Amino acid sequence: MGERRPLIAGNWKMYKTCAEAVGAARRLAELTVGIQGVDVMIAPAFTALYPVAEAVRDTVLIVGAQDVFWEEQGAYTGEVSAAMLVSAGCRMVIIGHSERRQFFGESDDTVNRKTKAALTQGLMAVVCVGETEAQRDKGLTFEVLERQVAKGLADMAPNRADDLVVAYEPVWAIGTGKTATVDQAQEAHAFIRAQLGKCLGEALAKSIRILYGGSVKPDNIGQLMTMADVDGALVGGASLDPETFIRIVRF
């Protein structure tokens, strides 16, 4: 993987109260003492971001958010800006997760606007792309990925893209127990990297980390990480338990 440092990111989704999130974060901080050569991110719900960030201050853990709005401020009830995330202790943010696309109308355009807003505030943006089962069955995987990368990262300033991470999450493998084979994952990741080269230049594309997301577990992470273009994982359910998540971190 060259200079691409592995990243294992835990998306806690709509789980854990503030107290539960702080407890889990503290336990994970204990388990990651001495961890080297890998970045570890956890993304609690908005309500738990600040207390979790305080709880893991001076540890190896990176705190991320699960979404962001593209405007700096304004009459946008229920939304949270990139500057607000930074003030709460965030260093990363997940953008365009398939659940946001499926349930909340996220589009390639809104992904683009959110990504630019996050990068402007110095947040590392984890931009999610991936095809549904129906799209894969119709042979549209590459067409979908090409569109999502091209539109999601359109007009992106290369000097900002240093803080960009892409997560490939085949929608059919999220929470289903299904996992792409290592060959399927590598094929998709290599294609995404080629598309990044078209958008941002080949040199920058080689340095951008591409994570795999889709029913990642302790028993499949090792094999996934042997692939040349798999630089880490975006982990859902298996990240909720620190004892399970640390086994993925220690792939």
H-type alpha helices, 4-65: 18-31, 49-55
Active site residue 72: no
Cβ contact 113:125 at 8 Å:
no
- Residue 158: which of 213, 200, 109 has the closest Cα? 200
Phi, psi of 59 (to 5 degrees): -115, 180
Confirm whether 169 is a catalytic residue. yes
From residue 108, alpha-carbon distances to 57, 101, 129, 204, 230 in Å are 34, 9, 9, 21, 23
Contact assessment for residue 224 and residue 212, using Cβ atoms and an 8 Å cutoff: yes
Q: How far apart are CA 40 and CA 248, in angstroms?
A: 10
Query: Exactly one of 72, 97, 131, 187 is catalytic; which is it?
Result: 97
Residue 172 is given by DSSP the state: G
Please identify which of the residues 106, 131, 169, 189 carries the catalytic annotation. 169
**How many Å apart are CA 32 and CA 67, to the nearest integer?**
25
Query: For residues 62 and 39, is the Cβ–Cβ distance under 8 A?
Result: yes
The encoded tokens of residue 239 equal 């990240």
Q: Is 22 helix (H, G, I), strand (E, B) or coil?
A: helix
Mind telling me the catalytic residues?
97, 169
